[in-house]
Structure 1
């Protein structure tokens, strides 16, 4: 009898220990960071909308801010194609146009869909379609729930103007030596202020692709062109250390075309993004980002383009269905109210009601009232009030 009790206790103890080991294993499992590649162009109205949503979701203090955890673990590379902002990336340290090469297939890339329109959204190596902009948040959250055997961390040091170095540490909990893994390292820039030629208001762009990092050619880190990435091999429990040192080009100069498309940029606002991609499936195994904050100025003065007057811009697109972007400029910090009214003068939606800093601001209206119901199609008015300034504009919601 006693022996049976001992055996039962032993079985229970083993089960508990096994459960604890599983629990510890689950706790240690690495989760992916959300990784989005966005391709847009200035002539595309919904690109403006997509950019604005992403900016507001990741901006602390925004009414639609997703929180520090999501903002920190949602990594974005925003490519601009065939417009004035795309001049920032020059040749992107690539043999060919980086966007054409990466997203138009025929170059050994595993993407099932080639770039066909804008905005083009690729999350975790797959093109995605949206019925609502908020679907993008759901996709990002789902990706963050995926486990990955690959760990990736970045350390960086700025030592002189646009010169910098970084150290990448890559690990794997599984044997991935049979996979065609590529390491990509890119430089991006935030706070690029741009006014396009389609009379859309000035807005700020973040996470803009500048170039691939690495040397190419004989004895290179990334083959004949850095657009193909650097092949890496990861065995089980292996740790790879990679270091990069480079200088970002200072071209083009700020406001190089001031009469048509003033582009201002602050070289301090750079980030380095690294990701490991499985070239057989296009899956992003893991990604990481390090921001270059408090860096050294490059000598380009007056790079941040501030508004010359307080104003409320025409919404864009207009007419719209169901979402439109409303931009406004503030000369100084103000208590701001931005509201939507129907044709009878009844207030149906409060978009902003708080103190806002000087600068260029954006808000979205999704065609819903304060209770969350979609309103009927027709003419609506939006009104900006900031201290003694009041301005109203008209917009058309088409269903």
Structure 2
């Protein structure tokens, strides 16, 4: 039986007549002034504990007042009767510095050892008797010097090992007595008196405090990696029950790699400080695993604690943000997060789908990792990132497809290393329809289509392609040989996302741009017109109010705010030509207008009547002089730009079809942007022609092509402060020359239109291209994107 025991010191001195004890007559030490010296037993606390026993000891003591100095014990012998009511073992301690005696034992049994209550007592008698032999050479106590001083001195130390609750009795026998001869310095001898018998009892040890187990509540890792974390158990007990004899664990789900797991460290006294180490396997299924740690003390106290470990496959994860919230008509950013959990990413191609009735795609921008700048303006270390937004093969959906390559060009590139993550930021405008409030607009990864265009992620080497392991995205049986030169690994996890239309109803009405509670009034038109001249600073400084004002400018409900078409629609409502949101939906960009900047004059050529036109010039004009009548011409100069708005406030006010001289502008300016709308607010395409000779540039310059991205053709504008030999070279991403324009040009603002063809007249593929302008000592390179 396993049990720790602690000594309960219960010394019960039983008074007996000396003659009955078999000591013989004790002799009074006449030098002690009538006092008698004693021999007695002193019980001591347990020396140590074991799992099933306790070690108890007692001492045979001699005490004297030593009134006369230099008392000496010249010899002694004793027969002690030691009995116990339990299983016990007696050992006599005669180590140096221990008992104050020397010599050998006599009697039965030998070896200074007696056993109690065994089935066949070795001594042949029960209880057994230990007989001490005569002293040959007395070793005085440490504090006594060459002779015994006053006080108490140990004659011998007896150790008893007990295995259960019991009491031990120590006395002399009736036939053999303690004979202790003491001689004073005056050669007078005497016998001290025995005060026995004595009883030393032991009782079971009980734990004082319950053990405590500590392990993390949760942990996570990848299949194939190592899960490790600290686990501890503590016990505040002092006397016993504080040794942890067993430290174990169990993974309840029994994964294939459970046999490799272990607890590292010491399972010992008071504190068990361990480390749980689990080398997982790629064969371990994904999921949550419950690990139970169990600790047991030497008193059979048990304590347990639990850790939940989430194990993910060593795959790649791509997640579309799912927590974006926006108001109808507002813009919302949604991240696409690519987590290179189990592989690197050197390139990708993927498509996402959304409902164009609910969402209008605005832009895709580089985010975390992908936005690290490259060695020159407009370059990035993640080289290639293009997108295409087209109607999906699924009815009523649009498909946004994205292609990215980390290392493609001649300059330093980078790939997404394993364990890292990157983000791409999508911007959508929510439909400006109050009926969609609380509605969720899903944004999902494109499922498998008949053409087997899959969402795939290549590693940095290009030799491994990670595809979705869900057959809804990629089915190798339906799309065999999709990547014949690469190892196809079905270990990409795609997580859909979406945007939620805000449920709270904003205090906003379409057309109430000045948010005074009255929509479609002249104040709204004036404020809206001022925006085109001075920017968003004309709206409220409060961000929430400003957002409501901007949303209220979607007068024609096409999902786009702050457009000239919205301004014209508002003017038509005020003039009585249109009703708010009335009539059939207008077809935008059905007509085209040519706007020419010739000398100081700005004029338009149009097949339809225009309700308004907005002009943005680079440079600050010195004056703007209206040339047209029947409409308003307003202008503003700030921050290096000049903005001019031509619009009609009343019914019939318009820019008539045909050629119309609009205004003259003076100063060093360049026309960079024009927006226009028909009289009934449909937006129109605008072609800009800069033939101005009045404003001469002072320095060389190269502008960003427009439009960009472009389809079919784009215009590249540049400034020449002097007559120059001009070379415009267009390169593909591999650094190969696609086309070159070389000619002598006069000073001024010039432009070249590229139609997307190479030197042979062949239309080139969609992608990123670079155009490099050289004129005199001036050289500059910019980037443009061709989409088909």
Larger radius of gyration: 2
Higher relative contact order (CA 8 A, sep 6+): 1
